[in-house]
Amino acid sequence: MEILKQRRTIRKYQQKDISSDLLNDLLDSAFRASTVGNMQVYSVIVTRDAERKAKLAPAHFNQPMVKTAPVVLTFCIDLRRFTKWCEQRKATPGYNNLEWFVTGSVDALLAAQTFCVAAEEKGLGICYLGTTTYNPQMIIEALELPELFPITTVTVGWPAEEPAQVDRLSLEAIVHEETYHDYTPGDIDRLYAYKESLPENKQFILENNKETLAQVFTDVRYKKEDNEVMSENLWKVIKKQGF
């Protein structure tokens, strides 16, 4: 439990390989994660090759850890394998729809997080790449994916840094007893006060010439127009991949 409370994202790695035995053991552990219906409708693409990492990098806005991590793992929604099994056993599958896209997302993300916990327990460092769903078509091309969908990417390696932990909201902000309770203006002020007080976040406001930290998120980091363009592309690629 204490390991989990002390965890931090690692973006810089030693130039030291991860053995196949260790990686496969971690993946084997990850695949014991809970699933929806015990179907395991996900696959994981392991990328070690430098040229293949270079092909993946633009999809992740050339974040350096894509090329410098010894291993890049792309967790994919995969109904293809289960569908083929059904068809070869005289069963008629019906999984090319939104419900099973969500099911595949749940399965893949549970496996991904279980892998990360297991890897960190062994002293490895990980970084989730939220950019996976920004440019899925580029990842599909780089990894030669058929009717699969990349849902998240994890870089993993031996840490070459020990960064400070980033802030997290309190339990009070997130946990709701019995039913959901909505937030009053006073609640919002109190629950976000610590985040807003951090020197680095105050610096973000100054650097971006904004009045509040929230404006940094809405006007700079995750703009409405960008979100809409990415959403349109995401839906187009989801349909192209057979859902």
Q: pLDDT at position 1, please?
A: 67
Distance between CA atoms of residues 8 and 116, nearest Å? 11
Mean pLDDT of 11-26: 97
- Rg of the chain over Cα atoms, rounded to whole angstroms, equals 20
Q: What is the pLDDT, as a whole number, of residue 3?
A: 79
Look at residues 138, 143, 94 and name the one whose alpha carbon lies nearest to residue 242: 94
- How far is residue 136's CA from residue 138's CA, in Å, rounded to a whole number? 5
The yes-or-no verdict on residue 104 having pLDDT over 80 is yes
Whole-number Å distance between alpha carbons of 101 and 85: 18
Report the distance separating Cα 183 and Cα 167, nearest Å.
Answer: 20
Residues 6+ apart with CB under 8 A from 130: 152
Instruction: Identify the pLDDT of residue 135.
Output: 94
Do 27 and 36 form a contact (C-beta atoms < 8 A)? Answer: no
Q: Does the structure show a pLDDT above 80 at 2?
A: no
SS3 string, 189-202, reads HHHCHHHHHCHHHH
Q: Is the predicted pLDDT of residue 105 greater than 90, yes or no?
A: yes
Average pLDDT over residues 103-128: 97
pLDDT score recorded for residue 4? 85
3-class secondary-structure state, position 165: coil
Other beta carbons within 10 angstroms of residue 86's beta carbon come to 15
How large a percentage of the chain has pLDDT more than 70?
100
Tokens linked to 158: 């031996």
pLDDT at 119 over 80: yes
Separation of alpha carbons 169 and 183, rounded Å? 14
How far apart CA 6 and CA 160 sit, in angstroms, is 17
- pTM: predicted TM-score of the whole model, two decimal places: 0.94
CA–CA gap between residue 17 and residue 120 (Å, rounded): 15
**Average pLDDT score over the chain:** 96
Write the pLDDT tens digit of every residue in 141-200: 999 999 999 999 999 999 999 999 999 999 999 999 999 999 999 999 999 999 999 999
Structure tokens at 215: 């404006």
